Every structure is written in C-alpha cells, then in structure tokens.
Structure 1
Amino acid sequence: MTVTTDDYVTVTTVLRMVRDAAILVDRGRNDRERVWIPRSVLFGPDDRRIESQAIDAEFKVRVRRWKADELGLVPDKNTPAQRNLEL
C-alpha cells in the first residue's frame, strides 16, 4: 500500500540490505524483484532510522514520488487488480 504526501510517497516494503548510499528493498509483494533506492531520495527522518531497522522485515519508508514511480514502487492505479483493491 502506498500513501502520498506532498513530494513523498509512503511505501510499505521489506528491507533487504543497507549501504552508505542506498538501500535494497523488495518491489511489490513478492521477494523475487528487488530495487536499490538511493538514500538521498528518502525522507530525512526515515533515512536516519534505517540503521535501526531489522533486515528482512517489513517497514514503511517515504520516498520522493518521482523516484518511487521510476523504480516501480507505486502501483499503477489503472490496472484491474489495483482498481479492485480500491472498491
């Protein structure tokens, strides 16, 4: 599920790896697709708490909307499956 606020999108995902410049997370609900998110596009307070997050655990993180779209972290609301979720 994603929630938008201003220029950020809240993404619920699973944290897989943390590096100085980026984090590796699951894209979508399956664990087969993973993407790197640059830490520079994370909401400041969320980035600061990344180090204390458990690896392989679900968490919420706010990401710049344009980057979340680019990485495919925001579901396409035009797909039949997504429209059914909103009913």
Structure 2
Amino acid sequence: ERLDVPAKNWKFDQSDLVARSKWDDYVKAYEEVFVETTKPNAPWYIIPANKKWARNLLAARIIVACLEDMQLSYPAVDYDPARIIID
C-alpha cells in the first residue's frame, strides 16, 4: 500500500523490504513470546490495528470486561455523608 497509494509513498523506506523478507520469522518470534509470557492473571490480547476505530473498540471492550471481572466497589466510609455540611 505504501507504494501503490501515492499519498502514502512517504511512509516507504528501504528497510520495509528487509522487514518483509523476514516477516515469517517475526511472526514466529512474537507467537513464542506470547505463548511463553501470557499468564491467567496477565494475558496478552492480540488486537488487529488495520482500522483504528475497530482497534479502539476492541481495546475498550477488553478494558471494560477486565474492570467488571475485578468487581470493584467504593471503599466504605466511617462517617455519614448526609451529615456533612459544606458552607
């Protein structure tokens, strides 16, 4: 796309060709890292980033689900809020 779309030509760099030739090696390395380092209490989430709106939506859903799973609540207070008078 960086070469096919004139408006994106500026993003192209010669190193893109080198990186592309090693793509399979990169994917294998990433997969190994994810498999070896994910934990039940700290999992990896692989989110496609081709479309920013979809990436943002997926990330937000994951965050909301994680927060809901934590069953957070406000801490109890040792006073009656109704009795507080602010002048």
TM-score if structure 1 supplies the norm length?
Answer: 0.24
- Higher share of residues assigned strand: 1
TM-score if structure 2 supplies the norm length?
Answer: 0.24
The structure number with the bigger radius of gyration is 2
